[in-house]
Amino acid sequence: MQQYGAEFFGTFWLVLGGCGSAVLAAAFPEVGIGLLGVSLAFGLTVLTMAYAIGHISGCHLNPAVSVGLCVGGRFPAKQLAPYIIAQVLGAIAAGGVLFVIANGQAGFDAAASGFASNGFGEHSPGQYSMLAALVCEVVMTAMFLIVIMGATDERAPAGFAPIAIGLCLTLIHLISIPVTNTSVNPARSTGVAVFQGGWALKQLWLFWIAPIIGAAIGAVLYKAIGSTKD
């Protein structure tokens, strides 16, 4: 239960910090943090939580990461379901807190604003197609898993994994926010989609399927290049 609690609160922090920066601060008049600030916010949530709870739960904060680590032989399949449930519940709880805060501003409308939801086609920040979004999410998540598995390999320098993983997530956002608003995390997508309530829920399927496929691919690729077996 300590592990599941850690995943709940870790994912809560990721969604509140990352999506919160997008909803509350990205375009704030005159001092908005913009795309770079949102990218850093997501990376910092993972970096800080990796140091805070990595020794408790491994700090997955992401159903796709849990699946990828399972495929890569780093995580037991019997814990997949409770980890994913804890992550999704943490994300939805954060979405709820963010929704309450955002509604404190006169005229706020989660449905109209998008509420930091992920999307494709007309709901992509750059109007990218469904195929572009699918490819982007698969490739970005695959690379994320390669970095995670490499940075946490017993042969890697000790103590630096959170930095590498946090910076990798920052870079992923810098690349792909214009395409999908960046998911690479089904829990993150779900946590805000339930409060956007319209198109975000209809397109949510892609942001479950693509990251999970990408994570599995990344895990297989790392096993191929990182195996110590002769």
Tens digits of residue pLDDT in 163-210: 999 999 999 999 999 999 999 999 999 999 999 989 999 999 999 999
Residue pair 40/72 in contact by the 8 Å Cβ criterion: no
pLDDT for res 134 = 98
pLDDT for res 159 = 87
31 pLDDT above the threshold of 90: no
230 pLDDT above the threshold of 60: no
- Nearest to residue 60, comparing CAs of 186, 173, 160? 186
Who contacts 74 (Cβ-Cβ below 8 Å, separation ≥6)?
149, 152
59 pLDDT above the threshold of 70: yes
Percentage of the chain lying above the pLDDT 90 cut: 85
Pinpoint the alpha helices (H) of the chain. Answer: 2-20, 34-57, 63-71, 80-102, 110-113, 130-151, 161-180, 186-196, 199-202, 206-226
Band of the pLDDT at 227, cuts 50, 70, 90?
A: confident
Long-range pairs for 131-136: beta carbons < 8 A, 24 or more residues apart? 132/179, 133/179, 133/180, 133/206, 133/210, 134/206, 134/210, 136/176, 136/179, 136/180
- Helical pair 63-71 and 80-102, crossing angle rounded to 10 deg: 160
- Residue spans per domain, the chain: 1-226
Superfamily for domain range 1-226: Glycerol uptake facilitator protein. (1.20.1080.10)
211 pLDDT above the threshold of 60: yes
Query: For residue range 99-132, what is the model confidence (pLDDT) as tens digits?
Result: 999 999 988 889 888 999 999 999 999 999 999 9
Residue pair 201/166 in contact by the 8 Å Cβ criterion: no
